[in-house]
Structure 1
Amino acid sequence: MGRANVLDMEPIEINAGGYYLRALRADDLLDDRPAIVRAFEDPEMKRWVSDYRIGDLADAGAYVARRADEWARDVRCSWAVAEPTTGALLGEVDLRELDSGDPQAACWTHPDHRGRGVASTALGAAVRFGFGALGLAKIGYQHDADNTASLRVAEKCGFKLVGETMLDGTRLLHWVAVSPTS
């Protein structure tokens, strides 16, 4: 794939300006599970992030463990978007399908923190990491065409609309960002 093999190490923290990106956690010092449960109970999250159902702390713990495993297997870099002074979970951003040759970005914001630029700030930092540290040439991003917040995030992060498809009656918009060194 032409990317650096940096995923074999522990998850990397990234300074994203007003936020920092770190691994999702469920330990004695920091526990993201309650915030994950609250986020996935939100009707907007259920609408736009329909491939995960998290109803309790056990589900959230499995979600955190899955993200750690995906990082270890070199298939996904996933970060909690965190408030820098408290470490509170504000959302999540990731680069996934790193093993497929068609890497994709994704993000979500906790309902209590929407409308503050959390997703676009975090996604921008993750994309720069993908281009710089991983050596990716391009990164895709897709979302339901009705999700105007995701559309704004794609535009703010410099993604270019490249097409749309229909999947199970849902119109998906497809975007791509290309490395400045490509």
Structure 2
Amino acid sequence: MEPVTLSADGLRLVAWEQRHMAELARIYADPLIERFLVMPLPWAGTARERFVWLQERHWQSGNPRWAVEEDGVLVGSMALTKSFPYELTITYVTAPWARGRGVAQRAIRAAVRFGFENLGAKRIAWDAIVGNHASRLAAIRTGFTVEGIARNGVHQRGESRDCWVGGILPGEVRDPEDVPWHYGILKRQAGFFLAERQELETGVAGLRLRPIREEDLDDLAATCADESTQQWVSLPGNYTRASADWWFGKCRERWDRGESVLFVLADGADRYCGSVELMLGEPGEAELGYFCSPWARGRGWMTAAARRLCELGFAELGLERIVWRAVVGNEASRRVAEKVGFAIEGTRRRIRHGDDGRLDSWVGSLFPEEMS
């Protein structure tokens, strides 16, 4: 097929030309783009020299390839590729100098409609390496449904990576005014998880919150093997350094997926002193969990850490409600929750608790205006 130019609310999707190459090289050199593209990098040599010719060949095969322009400036790329009968796959990139202006959303709508109306598609598929929250956000905003995670779904420069997968059907494209109710929450969380990980001050001398590190794992294993921790926290009964190693990998995976925000308590010597976590659930909701190392108990540190993480949840993650639960009898955890401002709502019977089977648990909730 011959190249087709599309208009998209101030954008033009046009065939690639040599004049685009310098700006495209700048796009591919961006660290965030490099983090999530699967193509070989750096982009140079034959790959760059043959790029325009290759895009022309794609058009001839019925696979549209567009340069996305705004006021004559390259601001991204857009592509549709035949994958199965009546199915296309969409891929897109936004230039770093054009982020935050809805470029991907506008271009996606135009490309998707073209695929349905002109190429006979009955479904358009999308995927992105897990952690690419910007791509995921743009897909959701324009009507795609995220359908799951394909483990080792893509191969990126010698490494297998998990990827989110999803799709859109005819009639599901969201117009600019048709905003998903939870889009604002998802946008704040996407920005948070894409940003560089931060350390948090607690207002308590000698205590700060920071990301977990490999050098914490011996102390983490000792904390989780502690008798009191074992009694109240849902953990494997025989907790070893190997258990801590597994959890370390799991923490990174859950952060990339946007499922969990975990920090460790670090003292003045930067020693691990416990963990505090928000486990994200339905949009706007999360569950708070925490435990303290034996050598750091009795200082009020866990209350300060829990309070600080709840503040972050409300201020930066768009949370509207945080829940807490603890095995009935865990008075220390309950005191922390009540000091932070949680209202204890009652008891849930027979909640799963690690190797101990099912035990009754207290449950509570916290709203932004209730922080103490």
| More RCO (CA 8 Å, sep 6+) | 1
**What is the alpha-carbon root mean square deviation over aligned residues?**
1.8
Contact 1:42 1:111 in 2 (8 A): yes
SS of aligned partner of 1:50: coil
Measure the CA separation in 2 of the matches of 1:48 and 1:34: 20
Alignment match, 1:13: 199
Q: Deviations over 1:64-106 (max 9, x none)?
A: 22112111110000001111x311111100100x143431001
Contact 1:104 1:139 in 2 (8 A): yes
Quickly say closer, same or farther: Cα 1:10–1:65, change in 2 above 3 A: farther
Structure 1 counterpart of 2:241, one-letter code? L
Quickly say closer, same or farther: Cα 1:11–1:167, change in 2 above 3 A: farther
Alignment match, 1:108: 291
Task: Tell me which stretches of 4 or more aligned residues in structure 1 moved more than 6 Å.
Answer: none
Structure 2 counterpart of 1:105, one-letter code? L
Quickly say closer, same or farther: Cα 1:124–1:74, change in 2 above 3 A: same
SS of aligned partner of 1:71: helix
Contact 2:198 2:211 in 1 (8 A): yes
Contact 1:90 1:118 in 2 (8 A): no
Q: Is the radius of gyration larger for structure 1 or structure 2? A: 2
- Does structure 1 residue 172 correspond to structure 2 residue 361? yes
Alignment match, 1:40: 224
SS of aligned partner of 1:7: helix
| 1:76 corresponds to which of 260, 268, 272 | 260
Structure 2 counterpart of 1:156, one-letter code? K
Alignment match, 1:91: 274
Contact 2:224 2:235 in 1 (8 A): no
Contact 1:77 1:94 in 2 (8 A): yes
Q: Can you give the 5+ residue segments of structure 1 that lack an aligned partner in the other structure?
A: none
CA displacement at 1:54 relative to structure 2:
6.0
Identity %: 25
Which structure is higher in helix share?
Answer: 2
Contact 2:273 2:296 in 1 (8 A): yes
Structure-1-length-normalised TM-score: 0.89
SS of aligned partner of 2:369: coil
Matches within 5 A, 1:19-34: 19-26=207-214, 31-34=215-218
Measure the CA separation in 2 of the matches of 1:54 and 1:139: 30
Quickly say closer, same or farther: Cα 1:54–1:36, change in 2 above 3 A: farther
Quickly say closer, same or farther: Cα 1:17–1:54, change in 2 above 3 A: farther
- Does structure 1 residue 160 correspond to structure 2 residue 368? no
